């Protein structure tokens, strides 16, 4: 191997470009831990007001140690996540930085993603082993930070798009929800999508299903806290056998590609829908071939798919392993294979495709 490499000439310009990218990636990788720490200790939330702090003042306000906070602030200033005022030796956040890092309900809240990254790093040894064996690694087997991070990462996107863009793009669905409909949210996790829909459509009744019992327990607590538990019901159930019939609307948010038997899930949705019902499938944005996905968003999704999505699918029966970059063609095959006659891309964002399927 060394001889082969030595015999191939290096293009120094290309090498320097690659090393420049690597330096940026190294900084980003190390900074991921600092984002999690800053989020847990409310450092971003405190800075998010726009007030200027010295390291000692921020440490005092957050109950942390000044020397660590000082280093954390300098790393964040180098990353352009906070600003440094050299004249006063203080640090602060711009409105844009605050929007992205300090506000839980903003449309682009970032820290949740880094909790997911931290969780996957904690599982690295187990994931390395399944590379060797080819076995799966179930969603429920991950370090629990993944579940918390996943909800916090996806909820802002749902908050920004679900009731203002995605549901209105479906034929006749919003009117049904406004007048009163039976809705199943399958693969609901902690229930963020279910609860957002329930808040927007008070005449409808919602049923959230997930095979992960710990996530369902959390979702039930959140429904009770939001005083929605009278018409939002969470139950442990897999996608291929969740209970109930004649649903007016069934939703799958970023989960169909994770399933071992997505075709089996599609068949069950078909059976559970009312004759005039609609199935909404939200999936990561992707082209139908690899080349179309070799971009920054595709990099994120292929990476997440490697450590979360494909292992989850391979841990289940059938083990289809669609992956997070399956693309519209494969999703169409799964859906129409389940008996659906109508399938279309209703809308999209830079990060998601939203499909409409009807019997």
Q: Are 243 and 163 in a shared domain? A: yes
Question: Domain check: are 282 and 188 in the same one?
Answer: yes
Burial 107-129 (b: 16+ CB within 10 A, else e): eebbbbbbbbbbbbeebeeebee
Domain carrying residue 154: 113-358
pLDDT of residue 179: 98
Could you say which of 84, 103, 122 is where a domain stops?
A: 103
Q: Is residue 261 part of a domain?
A: yes
79 plus 126 within the same structural domain? no
Angle 111-122/12-40 helices, nearest 10 degrees? 100
User: Is 130 found in the same domain as 34?
Assistant: no
Within a domain: 205: yes
Count structural domains, the chain.
2
CATH number where 48 lies:
1.10.10.10
| Residue 74 and residue 142 in one domain | no
Question: 161 and 20, same structural domain?
Answer: no
pLDDT at 2: 46
Q: Tell me, yes or no, whether 94 and 195 share the same domain.
A: no
**pLDDT < 70 stretches in the chain:** 1-6
Whole-number Å distance between alpha carbons of 342 and 335: 9
pTM of the model: 0.93
User: Which of 103, 122, 146 is where one domain is finished?
Assistant: 103
> In terms of domains, do 123 and 99 share one?
no
Same domain, 152 and 286: yes
3 assigned to some structural domain: no
2: in domain: no
pLDDT at 107: 85
Note the pLDDT of residue 6: 63
What CATH number is attached to the domain comprising 194?
Answer: 3.40.50.150
**What is the pLDDT at residue 7?**
82
Kindly report the length of the chain.
Answer: 359
pLDDT (tens digit, 9 = 90+) per residue, 153-198?
Answer: 999 999 999 999 999 999 999 999 999 999 999 999 999 999 999 9
194 within domain boundaries: yes
Q: Are 41 and 138 found together in one domain?
A: no
Query: Do 34 and 52 belong to one domain?
Result: yes
Q: Are residues 208 and 258 in the same domain?
A: yes
Residue showing tokens 């392993």: 321
pLDDT at 246: 98
Q: H/E/C letters for each residue in the chain? A: CHHHHHCCCCCHHHHHHHHHHHHHHHHHHHHHHHHHHHHHCCHHHHHCCCCCECHHHHHHHHCCCHHHHHHHHHHHHHCCCCEEECCCCEEECCHHHHHHHCCCCCCCCCHHHHHHHHHHHHCHHHHHHHHHHCCCCCHHHCCCHHHHHHHHHHHHHHHHHHHHHHHHHCCCHHHHHHHCCEEEEECCCCCHHHHHHHHHCCCCEEEEEECCHHHHHHHHHHHHHCCCCCCEEEEECCCCCCCCCCEEEEEEECCHHHCCCHHHHHHHHHHHEEEEEEEEEEEECCCCCHHHHCCHHHHHHHHHHHHHHHHHHHCCCCCCCCCCCCCHHHHHHHHHHCCCCEEEEEEECCCEEEEEEEC
User: Of 76, 103, 130, which one is at a domain's C-terminal end?
Assistant: 103
The answer to whether position 47 is within a domain reads yes
pLDDT digits (tens, 9 = 90+) for 316-325: 999 999 999 9
């Amino acid at each position: 191997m060394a001889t082969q490499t030595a015999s191939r000439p290096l293009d120094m310009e290309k090498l320097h470009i690659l090393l420049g990218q690597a330096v940026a990636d190294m900084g980003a990788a190390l900074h991921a831990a600092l984002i999690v720490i800053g989020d847990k200790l409310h450092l971003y939330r405190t800075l998010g007001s726009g007030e200027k702090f010295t390291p000692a003042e921020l440490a005092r306000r957050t109950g942390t140690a000044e020397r660590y906070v000082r280093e954390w602030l300098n790393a964040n200033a180098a990353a352009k996540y906070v600003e440094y005022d050299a004249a006063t030796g203080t640090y602060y956040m711009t409105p844009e930085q605050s929007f992205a890092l300090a506000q839980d309900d903003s449309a682009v809240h970032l820290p949740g993603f880094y909790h997911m990254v931290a969780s996957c790093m904690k599982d690295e040894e187990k994931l390395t082993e399944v590379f060797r064996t080819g076995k799966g690694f179930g969603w429920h087997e991950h370090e629990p930070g993944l579940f918390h991070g996943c909800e916090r990462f996806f909820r802002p996107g749902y908050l920004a798009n679900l009731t203002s863009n995605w549901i209105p793009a479906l034929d006749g669905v919003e009117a049904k929800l406004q007048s009163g409909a039976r809705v199943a949210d399958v693969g609901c996790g902690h229930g963020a999508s279910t609860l957002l829909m329930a808040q927007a459509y008070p005449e409808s009744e919602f049923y959230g299903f997930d095979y992960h019992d710990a996530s369902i327990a959390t979702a039930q607590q959140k429904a009770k806290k939001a005083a929605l538990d009278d018409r939002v019901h969470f139950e442990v159930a897999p996608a291929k056998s969740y209970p109930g019939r004649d649903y007016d609307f069934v939703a799958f948010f970023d989960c169909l590609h994770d399933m071992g038997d997505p075709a089996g899930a599609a068949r069950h949705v078909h059976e559970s829908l009312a004759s005039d019902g609609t199935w909404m499938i939200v999936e990561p944005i992707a082209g139908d071939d690899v080349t179309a996905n070799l971009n920054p968003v595709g990099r994120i999704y292929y990476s997440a798919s490697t450590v979360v999505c494909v292992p989850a699918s391979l841990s289940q029966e059938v083990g289809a392993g669609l992956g997070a970059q399956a693309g519209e063609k494969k999703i169409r095959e799964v859906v129409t294979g389940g008996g659906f006659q109508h399938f279309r891309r209703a809308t999209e964002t830079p990060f998601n495709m939203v499909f409409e399927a009807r019997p």
